[in-house]
Each structure stands twice: as structure tokens, then as C-alpha cells.
Amino acid sequence: MSIDYENELNAAQFEAVQHTQGPVLVIAGAGSGKTRTIVYRLAHLVEQGVDPSQILLLTFTRKAAQEMLQRTETILGRSLHGTSGGTFHSFAYATLRMNTHDIGFPNGFTLLDRGDSEAIVRDVRSDLQLGKGDKSYPKKNTLLDMITKSRNKERPIDAIVEQEAYHLASYVEDFETISRGYEEFKKNHALVDYDDLLFRLDQLLSENDPLRNQLQARYRYIMVDEYQDTNRVQARIVQQLAGDSGNVMAVGDDAQSIYAFRGANVANILDFPKTFKGAKIIRLEQNYRSVQPILTMTNHILENAQTKFEKKLFSELPSEQLPEVIYPISDQTQARLVTDKIIELGRKYPLHEVAVLFRAGYQSYHLEVALTRIGIKYQKYGGIRFHEAAHVKDVLCLLRLVLNTHDLMAWQRSLEHIKGVGPKTVNKIYEALHTDGKEKYLRTMRTKHQDLDDLLNELDAIRRNPMKPSAIMERIMTFYTPILTAKYPDDYPKRQAGLEQLGQIAANYTELESFLGDLSLDGDPDEEKRKENAVVLSTVHSSKGLEWKAVIIIDCVEDRFPSKKAMNRPEDLEEERRLMYVACTRAMNSLHLFVPKTIYNRFNGVSEPALPSPFVLELPSHTFSRLREAYSGGMEPQISKKATPAAAGHPSGETAGSSNKPSEKLGFCKHKIFGKGKIIARVEPNKYRINFPGFGLKVIIEDYVELL
């Protein structure tokens, strides 16, 4: 029985399935039935008489490939035996195994896993005697990360470090030396890692014309899923397998390219029509996940993207409920309002159908405490629960010692930071602190270990002078910060941001005991296994491919979403826009964006005005309903007001930036979001400081402004 494709597919899907000759790019918008299209095209090819062994399906997970092949077999009612379906790496591995002589390993090679590679890097470093005695030296996993990122992005290691790990700049030469040693070791021992699979296949296809021609003849039909996530070498492999005008279908969404940190290159999908001459472009725009008001908002988020394939998502799912943009007074009150919103949504949906999304893992800390306090279960994806993070445990143990000098476990963790103090010495110090007649030993140890003396003095001073938890945190952090940078040299800036959030949480408490109690309250140890009736907390990256009835996005302000680092390069800001699009399109029925008006600054103890995310500012007012937190604590509708020169970023008119007198020597410019502004100064190498009426002073990359 033949398949009734026209009734099973919408018009765009049907067109993609029927187009089997020549290159074709399918731009599959979020929730548009991408997998269904691939599956039915596989079935159509086989129905048209194509030998399954002539089809190559490349995906990013083995599970995805298996699911597509199984679904195709179900539709056809017969086996797809012979079809090559799997990941880029599995295809590369199989090809290289059959051509070991051509890649310089006539007797074969061994594939390394991540643990093997880290062990080699460790041994290479040791053999080279690098970092000997340097406790701050990057760990083996960080060394390998820099090497593999350099390879996947095809950029020098120094450029990777400068962009992603500036605090490790002093080790760049060592990274490069270890990288060379790592490559030499693999070569000498017939070893291949996951990156090598792709690069060796690329080289083999480039240099071995007979093999390339043989593979092109065998795989007459190539299909690539999630093409926006390919890196440069994967795109080259596809091109060499397909030829310039082969029957290759790439399926993906440029607007969902959010993995640049892994090496994904959005240019691959954007340049597909240039790479494959005469490529047909088909857009899947009908969305089967979200209601139209959500899609209307997400379409506007994409409107200001600098480079993109034009598309307008639409849905036949009815709804009159607009997405909400909610303005809490501060990031501290945001957690309470989000908790209230979760409770409200929980009356309509099961809690596991409600998700809270955020740009970085630490941004959920306030909310985790609030949910724990009132007994709402949650599951977190992307980063661990904050009170389980090692650096947070360090600080909590120090705080526990303020309240309880008999807390042996806290002493053990706190004193392990002190050089020369091992487990046995910790027990002796503990005994001396609590036993009469041991004063002499304690004095000796305090003299011998200055850090121990400093810690005991700090704890005594805090106990003698009662203070609020936030003040105690300040004093503890003064002691702990040098330990943080020494103990976690690879990523201490990221950990420090998490501890700043912990300090903000402390500011909500008047008693240290209550603060520690709320942080220590933990649910059932099997909670992580339970999916029912637990609200989901997730980073946006971890949410890709998932969907929920209701989605809440928090911290939609500058420096948080988009992240602070992304404001320095146009391409990074473009990816942040795509992240916001991905976040919003996870929502099926209900979408809520939280935009705190102020952010608490732990260093000066005050809340400072925050600018809404540019992705929120540019949204037309008709695409959402606007609510704000009243000073009485409740929520009230907020009428949009046109910003005036006295205003500074928030629709409510609060000042969120400084205003300097414009220089008469510089001219005016225009920005897509902030409008016309006066250039105050040039900030080298590629930025301007600009005064925008209604928004105050902003530092903008020159590529993002039009000089007038």
C-alpha cells in the first residue's frame, strides 16, 4: 500500500519530501515537524526504488538516527537494512577503520575516550615538567578543553584563551606546548581521539580521490539533521561526500544555532546555498507546538537578527492569552514573584509541565531557595543544584563554624584549604579547640599556619560582634576569595559569580541560622529520579529540543540575558538573540518573561538600576501584556509609556543610566534598538560611548550603529 504523503504532511513538508534531486536546504523552524519530514523523505526515497544502502543519514546522536530509521520502517512496513544512519563520528570511525593504511596506521588504531585523552595530557605535562609546584596550574580537563576547542573551532589556542578563559592567559605557551606533545604521543602510539576522527576523514577525502569518488557513488542520497550545529570540518565532510551538486538535504534552523562554544558554526547553514550551487530552499513555518501569540513574539525577536533566513512561524492552535513581560522591583523579589507564578500555573498544569529557564546556572539560586522553603519540588538541568557545588559548600562550611564550633565536618572541609594541614592534623586541632589543657598545641599550630590563625581570628570576631548574614558573608568572602582563586584556577570567575548570588540570598535574612537552615533543607534523595510533579529549572542550552506547557524566563536584563561577555562581539550578541528565541519557543501555551528593574550589588550593598534586555526592549507593545510589581508586593498592569530624556531604560521611567553632557566634537548615530544618539567618545578598539535619550549612556560596538 502506497503512502498518502499529501494527507500526512503539510504543503512545505510535502515539497521537501518530494524534492529528491540536487541539493536542498530545509529551514525547519522550531516545532515545525523536522523529524517527520526527514522520516517521510526516507520512506519516499525507498518507495521510489532507491536502494537503502545508497542513503546516508548523519545526525548528532545515535538515538536520533535510530528513531528516524525505526519510524521509517514502521511507515514502510519493511526493513531499511543497509541504510547508513548514525553520527558524524560513527561514520568517520567506520570509514577510517576500512582505510587504516591510508591514514598512516597500517596495523590499525585505537580510539581514545575522554578519560584516556585527559590521562595522556596529564602525562605529557608531567614529562615536560610544566607547572611543577604550581597549585594554580590548569587541571588536565581544562588543558584538554583548550586543545579540543582550538581544533573544533579551527582557531589558535591563544585566541580561544583570550575569548573564553582570559584568566588563564599566562599559560598559553604551555597550552600550545602540551598540545604539540599530545599530538606527537597519539601519532607514536597509533591513537585517535574523537576530534581526530573528523579531521582525519576530512583529510582522507581531500587527498584520496578514488575513495572520495567511491563514497560519492555509493551514497547517492545524503541527509544531515541539525545542520546549524555542524562545525567547519563537518561541513567540509558533507561537501566532499556530496560533491558540488549532489543529492544532499540539510535540515536545520539558523535561528537555533546556539552551540558556538562547542565549535558549531552558524555560517555553515547560512552559506549552504553558496556552497551547493542551485540549492533549493524550503521553509517549514507551520508550528505544531506553540500557540500563535507566542509565535508572534518570537517572530519579532528574530526580526532584528543581522544574518538569517527569513521565516514567519505560524500556528493553528487557538489562544487569546498574550505572553507576559513582568517587571519585579529587583532581582531579589523576582524569586518570590516567580514562585507565585509557578503556584498559579500549577493550578492549571502539572508542575513538570512548567519550566523556568535562565542564561546561566547560577541565576536560579534565589529561586531554588524559595522553592525549597515552601516545599515545591524541582529538577534542575544544566549545572548542579547550587548548594551542592564545591565552592558553595566551602563557604557554607565556614558559615556553619560561626554557629557551631563542634561541627567536625565543617572543620574538616574548612581546614583542608590550609597547606600542611591534613586529616590527622585537623582532628588534633579540633580536639585542642574543645579540650582544656591543649592551649599550647593550638598556639603552636596558629603560629605555624598563618591561614589557620587568620581563620580563627575571623570566626572569633564575627561571634563577638553580632551582624546580619550578608555582613558575615562579606567577612567570610574576604578570607575565602584567595582560596577560591587558588583551589579553582580553571574557572574561578564563574564560581565567583555564583558566590555573589549566594551573598544576595543572604541579604534577605536577618539570622544566620535561618539562612543556613533554608539552604540545607533538602528533599528526598531520590528526588532527581522523580519527574512527576516537579517544576523544571534549566539553562536555555539544556532546554533545546524540549517543550513545556508553560515557560518562565528570568533575568531578562543586560549583562544576564544577553550575558555580559556577549556584549563585546557582534557574533556573540547574535547568538544570544538565538538563545532567547530558543527559550521562548519551548513554551506551548503560556510564556512569561521576568525583567527585574534593579540588580543587587553585593560589593556596595545597594540595588542598582538594570536595563531590560535589548530583545525585550525591541518587542512591539501589542505582542505582550505588561505587569509590574507594586511596592505593596502585588502585581498590577503597567501601561507602556513613551520614554523621555529623563527616563533611563525601564518603561516605568526609572533612571537606569548616567547622563553626561555630549561632546560637541562628535556626531550623531542611529541604533536599531536605542534609536538616535549622540556620540560622546570612541572606546578603542571598536566601540563608541553614546548618549541615547531615554536610555542614558551606552557603550556600543561600532558595527551596531549607523553614523549620521
Rounded distance, CA 21 to CA 48, Å? Answer: 12
The more confidently predicted of residues 601 and 334 is 334
Q: Among 513, 413, 532, 423, which residue's Cα sits nearest to residue 469?
A: 513
pLDDT for 386 equals 65
Q: Report whether 165 contacts 493 (CB < 8 A).
A: no
59 and 134 belong to one structural domain = no
- Is 448 one of the annotated binding-site residues? no
Q: Whole-number mean pLDDT of the chain?
A: 85
By the 10 Å C-beta count (0-12 exposed, 13-18 middle, 19+ buried), 4 is classed as exposed
**DSSP for 162-200, written as a single string:** HHH-GGGGGGHHHHHHHHHHHHHHHHHTTEE-HHHHHHH
- Res. 48: pLDDT tops 60: yes
Strand partners for 539: 358
By the 10 Å C-beta count (0-12 exposed, 13-18 middle, 19+ buried), 451 is classed as middle
pLDDT for 473 equals 86
Confidence of residue 436 (pLDDT cuts 50, 70, 90): confident
pLDDT for 461 equals 87
From residue 484, give the alpha-carbon distance in Å to each of 137, 391, 393, 477, 478: 14, 7, 12, 9, 11
Confidence of residue 42 (pLDDT cuts 50, 70, 90): very high
pLDDT for 246 equals 85
Interval 532-542: pLDDT, tens: 789 999 999 99
Residues 6+ apart with CB under 8 A from 422: none
160 and 241 belong to one structural domain = no
Average pLDDT over residues 216-226: 94
- Indicate whether 657 belongs to any domain: no
510 and 410 belong to one structural domain = yes
Question: What ranges make up the beta strands (E) of 557-686?
Answer: 587-594, 598-601, 606-609, 625-629, 635-637, 668-671, 675-683
Rounded distance, CA 58 to CA 235, Å? Answer: 11
44 and 126 belong to one structural domain = no
Confidence of residue 486 (pLDDT cuts 50, 70, 90): confident
Instruction: List the grid coordinates of 659.
Output: 547622563
Average pLDDT over residues 477-483: 86
pLDDT for 658 equals 32
- Indicate whether 648 belongs to any domain: no
Confidence of residue 205 (pLDDT cuts 50, 70, 90): very high
Residues 6+ apart with CB under 8 A from 197: 89, 92, 93, 96, 111
- Is 420 one of the annotated binding-site residues? no
Instruction: List the grid coordinates of 181.
Output: 606533545
Instruction: List the grid coordinates of 289.
Output: 507546538
Instruction: Please name the residue that has the C-alpha cell 581514545.
Output: 112
**DSSP for 563-588, written as a single string:** BGGGGG-HHHHHHHHHHHHHHHTTEE
87 and 221 belong to one structural domain = yes
Q: Report whether 38 contacts 19 (CB < 8 A).
A: no
The angle, 0 to 180 degrees and rounded to 10, between the axes of the packed helices 439-448 and 450-464 is 120
From residue 665, give the alpha-carbon distance in Å to each of 162, 661, 684: 34, 12, 17
**Lowest-confidence region among 48-52, 93-97, 105-109, 674-678:** 674-678
Q: Among 510, 244, 324, 517, which residue's Cα sits nearest to residue 404?
A: 517
pLDDT for 453 equals 86
Interval 284-315: pLDDT, tens: 999 999 999 999 999 999 988 888 999 999 99
Name the domain boundary from 618, 637, 656: 637
C-alpha torsion sign, points 147, 150, 151, 153: positive
Name the domain boundary from 466, 494, 520: 520
Per-residue DSSP letter, 433:
H
The more confidently predicted of residues 537 and 635 is 537
Instruction: List the grid coordinates of 627.
Output: 505587569
- Is 424 one of the annotated binding-site residues? no
Between the CA atoms of 455, 457, 463 and 468, what dihedral angle is there, to the nearest 10 degrees?
-60
393 and 490 belong to one structural domain = yes
253 and 332 belong to one structural domain = no
CATH number, position 205: 3.40.50.300
From residue 664, give the alpha-carbon distance in Å to each of 37, 629, 667, 668, 679: 59, 40, 8, 10, 9
- Indicate whether 656 belongs to any domain: no
C-alpha torsion sign, points 420, 477, 504, 512: positive
Residues 6+ apart with CB under 8 A from 25: 227, 249, 250, 269, 272, 273, 276, 279, 280, 281, 282
From residue 615, give the alpha-carbon distance in Å to each of 541, 547, 557, 689: 17, 21, 9, 20
- Is 31 one of the annotated binding-site residues? yes
- Res. 679: pLDDT tops 60: yes
Rounded distance, CA 697 to CA 632, Å? Answer: 31
By the 10 Å C-beta count (0-12 exposed, 13-18 middle, 19+ buried), 78 is classed as exposed
What is the percentage of the chain residues whose pLDDT exceeds 90? 44
Question: What ranges make up the beta strands (E) of 60-195?
Answer: 84-87, 110-111, 191-192
Instruction: List the grid coordinates of 499.
Output: 558566590
- Is 28 one of the annotated binding-site residues? yes
- Phi and psi torsions of 677, nearest 5°: -145, 165
- Indicate whether 311 belongs to any domain: no
- Res. 641: pLDDT tops 70: no
Q: Report whether 486 contacts 135 (CB < 8 A).
A: yes
Total number of domains in the chain: 5
Rounded distance, CA 687 to CA 74, Å? Answer: 57
Q: Among 233, 250, 196, which residue's Cα sits nearest to residue 19?
A: 250
- Is 507 one of the annotated binding-site residues? no
C-alpha torsion sign, points 303, 308, 312, 317: negative
- Res. 638: pLDDT tops 80: no
- Indicate whether 300 belongs to any domain: no
84 and 205 belong to one structural domain = yes
pLDDT for 642 equals 40
For strands 625-629 and 606-609, give the pairing: unpaired
pLDDT for 601 equals 72
- Indicate whether 273 belongs to any domain: yes
699's enclosing H/E stretch is: strand 696-701
- Res. 148: pLDDT tops 90: yes
Instruction: List the grid coordinates of 419.
Output: 597547606
What b/e sequence results for 276-304 when a residue is b if at least 16 CB atoms lie within 10 Å of its CB, and e otherwise?
A: beebbebbbbbbebbbbbbbbbbbbbbee
- Indicate whether 646 belongs to any domain: no
pLDDT for 342 equals 95
442 and 356 belong to one structural domain = no
Confidence of residue 529 (pLDDT cuts 50, 70, 90): very low
Rounded distance, CA 319 to CA 315, Å? Answer: 10
Instruction: List the grid coordinates of 304.
Output: 532584528
Q: Report whether 330 contacts 607 (CB < 8 A).
A: yes
Rounded distance, CA 433 to CA 435, Å? Answer: 6
73 and 201 belong to one structural domain = yes
**Lowest-confidence region among 534-543, 633-642, 693-702:** 633-642
Name the domain boundary from 156, 189, 222: 189
CATH number, position 403: 1.10.486
Q: What is the CA radius of gyration of the chain?
A: 29
Strand partners for 691: 678, 697
For strands 191-192 and 324-327, give the pairing: unpaired
Rounded distance, CA 226 to CA 450, Å? Answer: 56
By the 10 Å C-beta count (0-12 exposed, 13-18 middle, 19+ buried), 260 is classed as middle
Confidence of residue 429 (pLDDT cuts 50, 70, 90): confident
Task: Give the domain range for residue 682.
Answer: 668-707
266 and 404 belong to one structural domain = no
- Indicate whether 307 belongs to any domain: no
Average pLDDT over residues 541-556: 94
pLDDT for 402 equals 86
Strand partners for 56: 84, 222
539 and 515 belong to one structural domain = no
